[in-house]
Structure 1
Amino acid sequence: MSRDRDPFGAATPPASGPRLRMSLWWEIAIVLALSVGRSAVYSVLQLVQALTREQSLGDQSTALNPGANAQEFWDVLYQFVQAFFGFAPIALAIYLLWEPGRSAFRRIGLDFRRFGRDAGAGILLVLVIGVPGLGLYAAGRALGVTVQVDAAPLDASWWTVPLLLLAAVRAGLTEEVIFIGYLFDRLRRLGWGTWTIILGTAALRGAYHAYQGFGSIVGNVAMGIVFGWVYQRFGRVMPLVIAHTVIDVIAFVGYPLAAAWWPALF
């Protein structure tokens, strides 16, 4: 029986026996329930709720990051603590991927061995994914099938930009480590084919962003397909994390700055 090979050149052994396969399915279900799967369910429910309102999707809006009252110490502290605990599902996925004598970071290519090359590939992916993504968002807004996405407003508080940068890093790590690094390994062990995995995880990524409307669903499914192919081809998550983080930094910080400087254009 032929075996799928992981992107690192080492054979990925398929799960043998019904008990091991069932154990893997339970593990996947628990990881998803604690992270992107739970968010995908809420996101789809938000989209369904938005479709039941009298307003069209084009007349509705959603916030990427909730603001915090700069005068309230506890409000700001809670947001930093919440952001910190948001890294827990990422740590869980990496922990589950760890094997004796084989670092999970090296297995999925989440390290700094080729940082220059990874950064270059990440910036290229920003151009390939980010620019068309803006076009899809604009098209969705024009067609009335995408809600208006409001980034958190920037103010003079010292914590605003660090909190948004932390949110961008967390989003990049969460989606790429779990959607790509973790699920690719586990689904391959369950016998899924390469393109079944790529398309399945891309569909889950689209559902994860469903609350933003149909334009974002299409854009994120396309992003999942491209990122999945790149990972399968080169075996490294780091370029994907860099690209995703840069895209989110532009959305979280760059867009509010541009809107403040050129309000007539935005």
Structure 2
Amino acid sequence: MIRAFQVSLPVLVILNLNREPWAKFGFVRFSWRVDVPAGLLIWMCALAGYIAVISLVPVSLIPVADTDDAVRWAKPAGLLGGCLVLAVSVANGFAEELVMRGYLLTRFERLLHSTPLAVLVTTALFASYHVYQGPAGLIHAAAVGLIYGTIYSFQRRLWPVCIAHAIADIVGTLS
């Protein structure tokens, strides 16, 4: 959770100093009726996209997790553990989407003069954040990043992709 704040705070300061409208970076008024259902729908699309992509990869290319991974990804216990998973997932989802979609995708669009290219670049960066998760995690991050980036580039709302990311982190942690 500390890392999420370390990532978010400098970007928020840059956005504030930049004097551009926050809406340009996807910060629009949060709407429970719009953003929560959209986030859930985006998460389901990303999950379906990952399943479609991973089904094309030969099983022999995806190594079996070792016991160190099982220990590192131990399931949380009790109400406190569940609340911690929720808090960390929301903070992480916000931080990564703020940087990848809200800030970098918007900036790469201007630099590259191409939204599709900006989506591909941010997808590659997003996937590189997840290399530590192994081949399956890398494939998952690439598929999810492509879907999040594409949807964000049409919607220009940061909240739904943050919600989708938080749901993905919660489900990934608890499953």
Task: Calculate the aligned-residue CA RMSD, in Å.
Answer: 2.6
Q: CA deviation at 1:245?
A: 0.5
After TM superposition, the score normalised by the length of structure 1 is 0.55
Q: Tell me if structure 1 keeps the 8 A contact 2:127–2:142.
A: yes
Letter in 1 for 2:76: L
Is 1:95 the counterpart of 2:16 in the alignment? no
> Relative contact order (C-alpha < 8 Å, sep 6+): which is higher?
2
The gaps in structure 2 that reach 5 residues or longer are: none
Residue 88 (structure 2) aligned to one of 163, 167, 185: 167
Aligned to 1:222: 143
Aligned to 1:188: 109
Deviation by residue 1:210-229 (Cα, 9 ceiling, x = unmatched): 12222222222121111111
Aligned to 2:155: 234
Instruction: Indicate how the Cα distance of structure 1 residues 101 and 201 shifts in structure 2: closer, same or farther if over 3 A, else same.
Output: closer
Q: CA deviation at 1:233?
A: 0.9
Residue 44 (structure 2) aligned to one of 115, 121, 127: 127
SS in 1 for 2:75: coil
From the CA coordinates, give the structure whose radius of gyration is larger: 1
After TM superposition, the score normalised by the length of structure 2 is 0.81
Q: CA deviation at 1:180?
A: 0.8
SS in 2 for 1:159: helix
Instruction: Indicate how the Cα distance of structure 1 residues 221 and 85 shifts in structure 2: closer, same or farther if over 3 A, else same.
Output: closer
Instruction: Indicate how the Cα distance of structure 1 residues 215 and 84 shifts in structure 2: closer, same or farther if over 3 A, else same.
Output: closer
Deviation by residue 1:91-115 (Cα, 9 ceiling, x = unmatched): 211221234373x2x3323344433
The gaps in structure 1 that reach 5 residues or longer are: 1-82, 256-266
Question: How far apart, CA to CA, are the structure 2 residues paired with 1:194 and 1:116?
Answer: 28
